[in-house]
Amino acid sequence: MTSKALYLISLSASLILAASAFAQVPVIDSATLTQATQTAQQTAQIMQTNQQILQYTQATYNAVTGNRTTGSLSSIGLGSGFSMSSVPGLSSLLGGGGISMGGLGSYGSLASSIINGLNLVRTLTGQTSTTSPTDQAYTGAVNTAAAITAAVAGGQAAQQTRSSAFQSAGGQVGSAPDVKGSIDQNSQLQTQTGQTINELIGTVTLTNAALNAQQQQDLAAQSKLSTMWTYDASRATLTGN
């Protein structure tokens, strides 16, 4: 091989090595870099906005879920612990037997003291048991009078306490920190209003019991009068000449 050929081969190899070296040098594309920077900034803004949306969503979720305390609102419907549901039922009042006033607490004791202070007879017929219709009607009237006395005493005390409680509850309206608290307050007020209405129904029922007791007495008196004027030949006797 001639020296000229060797020179050409050496020159070609040098050019190839030089081209490879130049190909490995990094090249900065300003347009691409600017676009990438803008994309990164926009992505960061989107992530920040998503984080704010997440916080608002979490706050909204917390505002409408979970338990809330309604404080004194849960007991305003029944004032002083008195409830018409503690009054003995109609069958107990008018059944002719004794009744238990223990469920009425101090109001039951007050009613018993008042009724006992009247020194009423146990029966109208003088019998020890209330088997006759007249005695049953009389005992029913006494029981009803005792229950009404206890209910009036308890109802007056409860009315005063309930009135103050509802006024206080009115001042709490709008003080809840979130939507769920407001909903729970409103629900509790509706529940307590229902309990108050139920007390009113109990009062009407007791009034009907009083009317029923009076009707029983009237019926027993009419029955007794009818018996007095009924002629029974087997029991008739002749006296004197």
Neighbouring C-beta atoms of residue 221, cutoff 10 Å: 13
User: Would 30 be classed as within a structural domain?
Assistant: no
Contacts with 161 (C-beta within 8 Å, 6 or more apart), sequence order: 79, 80
pLDDT tens profile 32-67: 888 888 888 999 999 999 999 999 888 888 777 777
Predicted local distance difference test score (pLDDT) of residue 45:
92
Query: Does residue 44 belong to any structural domain of this protein?
Result: no
The pLDDT tens digits for 112-167 are 888 878 778 877 777 777 778 888 888 888 888 888 888 888 888 888 888 888 88
Tell me whether residue 209 is in a domain: yes
DSSP character at residue 89:
P
- Domain, as residue range, for 213: 106-119+133-168+182-225
Q: Is residue 94 domain-resident?
A: no
Question: How much is the pLDDT for 19?
Answer: 53
Domains held by the chain: number: 1
The answer to whether position 155 is within a domain reads yes
- To the question of pTM greater than 0.85 for the whole model, the response is no
Distance, in Å, from the CA atom of 122 to the CA atom of 229, rounded to the nearest integer, reads 26
Q: Averaged over 96-106, what is the pLDDT? A: 75
Burial 93-120 (b: 16+ CB within 10 A, else e): bbbbeebebeebeebbebbbeebeeeee
Is residue 11, in this structure, part of any structural domain at all? no
**3-state secondary structure (DSSP) of residue 30:** helix
Considering only residues 74 and 206, tell me which one the structure prediction assigns the higher pLDDT.
206
What percentage of the chain exceeds 90 in pLDDT? 4
Higher confidence at residue 166 or residue 22? 166
Q: How would you classify residue 154: left for phi > 0, otherwise alpha for psi between -120 and 50, otherwise beta? A: alpha
| Rg of the chain over all Cα atoms, to the nearest angstrom | 47
Q: Per-residue pLDDT tens for 218-228?
A: 888 877 777 77
Q: What phi and psi, each to the nearest 5 degrees, are found at residue 113?
A: -65, -40
Kindly state whether residue 53 falls inside one of the protein's structural domains. Answer: no
Residue 23 — pLDDT band, cuts 50, 70, 90?
Answer: very low
Residue 197 placed within a domain: yes
